[in-house]
Structure 1
Amino acid sequence: MSVLVPQAVINRIVQLRGQRVMLDTDLAELYGVTTKRLNEQVKRNIERFPEDFMFQLNAEEKAEVVANCDHLVQLKFSPSLPYAFTEHGALMLGNVLKSSRAVEVSLLVVRAFVQIREMLSTHKDIAAKLDQMERKLSSHDQAIAGLIDAIRQLMAPPPSTRRGIGFTASIDSKPRNKK
């Protein structure tokens, strides 16, 4: 994998615990090291990786990630729980690994996270505009329905207010018995 495509990096970003993260296996592949070596470097420099930079998945999260991501099938058979790195953790990994490739990959990973953030903000703007248009359309629909009702009332013949001439007997009424 000599040339990294940012889309390939974006596809490896997953959402866990409300954060966008990359797993240690994906980062190790991108940085060109084994997962074991990557985790060794993390453990040697654990003070550089607070909880908001890195966390370890639990068994349920691991099963969910394996089920949702086809490229992580080999993780299914691993007895260890993988680590997840946020944008800042992935950048810190580049500093810990200390290689020219690590610097290049760190830049790509950060750009991928930024691109995802920009796409999400764009989608939020579009969603807000759609909501605004729906509200406007529903108010127009109500106004049109009111106009149609008014037109129907005007088109209906007015009820006759004139009384007929003569005696009108009600058929339903019972005759009175006189005593």
Structure 2
Amino acid sequence: MSKKETKKSEVMLLESKLYSHIHQIRKHKVMLSFDLASLYQVEPKILNQAVKRNMSRFPDDFMFRLTNKEWDFIRSQSVTLNGRGNFPKYLPYAFTEQGVAMLSSVLNSQCAIAVNIQIMRMFVKMRQMVVEYAELTKKIEKLEQGHMDHQLDIASIFKLIKELLEPSIKNREPVGFKMKK
């Protein structure tokens, strides 16, 4: 396998791994601090310390700490998280796309930069998928509306055919022998 093929397979593996680490919390797509630490190949403690030293770089729309309820929900969704203890000392941070981008400046390592590039590409792909999904939804709705119009037209055609096939009894002269009075 060539270097280019190896690198491409590593990127594909990383992309599939990234998808599983992106969660929807508080109407944001986020990644959790311990997942990011694993991807950056650093201890979660080191990542958290770097963030704490640079809190001014992480406003609320870049990063927030999970609540117990959110943490319980995420753990219930992932089999691998069930072994992390029911009551962690500190709840994990959740980083939005902007927070993940800011992390690369805080964790100044080549690994962090390379992983961040892949994460940013993943978020861009996800936004593109959302736009494509919205366009597809509009097209389906348009097709459904056209389908409904056709159904109404077909129903009226069947009604007319039925009327033509049924003899009209009201307009018909009585059949049979007539007697004069």
Relative to the length of structure 1, the TM-score reads 0.86
Q: Is 1:127 aligned to residue 137 of structure 2? A: yes
Structure 1 residue runs without a partner (length 5+): 168-179
Asked if the contact 1:56/1:83 (under 8 Å) is kept, the reply is: yes
SS in structure 2 at match of 1:84: strand
Q: For 1:46 and 1:74, how far apart are their aligned partners in 2?
A: 29
- Select the structure of larger CA radius of gyration: 1
Asked if the contact 1:63/1:76 (under 8 Å) is kept, the reply is: no
SS in structure 1 at match of 2:21: coil
Relative to its length, the structure with more helix (as a share) is 2
Tell me the C-alpha RMSD between the 2 structures: 1.9
Q: What residue identity is the alignment partner of 2:27?
A: G
Q: Is 1:36 aligned to residue 45 of structure 2? A: yes
Percent identical across equivalent pairs?
34
- The size of the alignment, in residue pairs, is 166
Deviations 1:82-124 (A, max 9, x none): 1100011011111101111111111111111111111121122
Structure 2 residue runs without a partner (length 5+): 1-6
SS in structure 2 at match of 1:62: helix
Asked if the contact 1:56/1:82 (under 8 Å) is kept, the reply is: yes
Q: Is 1:143 aligned to residue 116 of structure 2? A: no
Q: Is 1:93 aligned to residue 103 of structure 2? A: yes
Q: What residue identity is the alignment partner of 1:143?
A: D
Deviations 1:1-60 (A, max 9, x none): x94522211221111110100000100000111111111111110000000000111011
SS in structure 1 at match of 2:159: helix
The alpha-carbon deviation at position 75 of structure 1 amounts to 3.5
Relative to the length of structure 2, the TM-score reads 0.85
Q: Is 1:70 aligned to residue 79 of structure 2? A: yes
